Amino acid sequence: MPEVVPFRAVRPTRDKVGLISSRPYHHYTQAEREARLDNNPFSFLHIVNPGYKYHKEVSGPDRYELVRNRYQEFREDHIFIKDEHPCFYIYERKDADGHVFTGIVAATGLNSYKSNLIKRHEETIAYREEDFKKYLQTVGFNAEPVLLTHPDNSDLSAIINNAKSIRPEYEFTTTYRDTHYLWLIDDAQTCQQITQIFKSMDHLYIADGHHRSASAHQLCEELKKSNKEHTGKEPYNFFMSYIIPESNLKILEFNRLVKDLNGLSKEEFLIRLDNFFKIENRKNTYYKPQEKHSFSMYLDGDFYSLHLRKLNYKTENALSHLDAQVLYKTVLNPILGIGDARSDKRLDYAHGKKGMAYVKGLVDRGEFKVGFGMLPASVAEMKQIANEGLTMPPKSTYIEPKLRSGITIYEY
């Protein structure tokens, strides 16, 4: 019975939301960031990049202190407001390609996370957990919700559709041509209905945001110990989440690029590949896999199709059936010598929105020797791996929606 409750968000005034909202900091190039910081005094980037005010790069604890200061300035200048009553927030994004994402921004209980009612499919890195925990503890807020997903639910859909029948609190379009909407649900009875619907579900699943949720859990455990009057209702017992139905998720693949052939010649490499795959050289014909356990490869100016010889590969569990794991177990590790896929500097990734054309360009320029493409994982695969208590290899999924920062903010 996952605990999902309304909360009092800090959010932009209606007239400034389009100016404030931003993509996550690392999604911009340096030139893009500077252009926005130069020309938009309301951008959320001024908060997360506070050293820009002093024309200086600032990192670590010093940056965290400055982030807190910039945030407080936005609060003091009434650029942000805090809702008087706890709310659920219906957030919808319509992409330029016509895809629509609709879900609920809420506070989700960390007890549910701790007891595995919120299941995860990725491992986290300890130092990243610790760094973000320190960040949250210093700045006192989080502006990027964890993306959770649940089975489609008709009762929840009816509540959302009813909330959408009135004018949204926010409606704005970005320069990327996606349109964002936000509706508030502050009626206590409806909020209780939503909470009960989530309580009736067996589990929620983390789609994106494993480090954010793990760091929030670390912070919660630390603050509980130091608070002699701990009740379990304090804000640190929850994390901000964006919860959408499974049918709304959009999952893309991550393609793989490797800098060298591990000392093998092209011919030796292809012979080693033949042990696991039926190989077809498609010359300069662009190839994208059409079925599971098939891969695209670009090497030395040619595209290849690789189809797994299933007699030579045994699937033991949900993880071993995943294409990213198949590629690692048959090619990246035994042939190309990739050890830790999280840290090996010979391996890099490019998400599926860029396509194999992007991979081809990097290989043709000599930055990498070989590139591999695959089909995206499915929601069912992601859930089954989580249900079996397993974790995916790094960069197994590129999941949308990617939400903008600064639209709803959760204060600790």
* pLDDT interval class at 353 (50, 70, 90): confident
Helix orientation angle between 126-139 and 60-76, rounded to the nearest 10 degrees: 40
Given a cut of 90, whether residue 329 has pLDDT beyond it is: yes
Distance in angstroms (rounded) separating the CA atoms of residues 70 and 76: 10
Higher pLDDT, 201 or 402: 201
pLDDT at res. 126: 84
Average pLDDT on 81-87 reads 97
pTM across the whole model: 0.91
Average pLDDT on 32-43 reads 93
- The C-alpha angle 249, 255, 259, rounded to 5 degrees, equals 155
Instruction: Tell me the percentage of the chain whose pLDDT exceeds 90.
Output: 86
pLDDT at res. 2: 97
Tell me the per-residue pLDDT of 140-170, one tens digit each, with 9 for 90 and over.
999 999 999 999 999 999 999 999 999 999 9
pLDDT at res. 24: 83
Given a cut of 90, whether residue 352 has pLDDT beyond it is: no
Mean pLDDT of the chain: 95
Given a cut of 90, whether residue 206 has pLDDT beyond it is: yes
Q: Can you list the domains of the chain with their CATH numbers?
A: 4-251+400-411 (no CATH), 254-396 (3.30.1760)
pLDDT at res. 310: 86
Q: Which residues contact 2 (CB under 8 A, 6 or more apart)?
A: 108, 109, 112, 117, 118, 198, 199, 201, 203, 204
Residue type, 412: Y
Distance in angstroms (rounded) separating the CA atoms of residues 412 and 407: 17
Distance in angstroms (rounded) separating the CA atoms of residues 143 and 149: 19
| Tally of CB atoms within 10 A around 39 | 8
Distance in angstroms (rounded) separating the CA atoms of residues 137 and 327: 40
| Tally of CB atoms within 10 A around 334 | 14
Given a cut of 90, whether residue 97 has pLDDT beyond it is: no
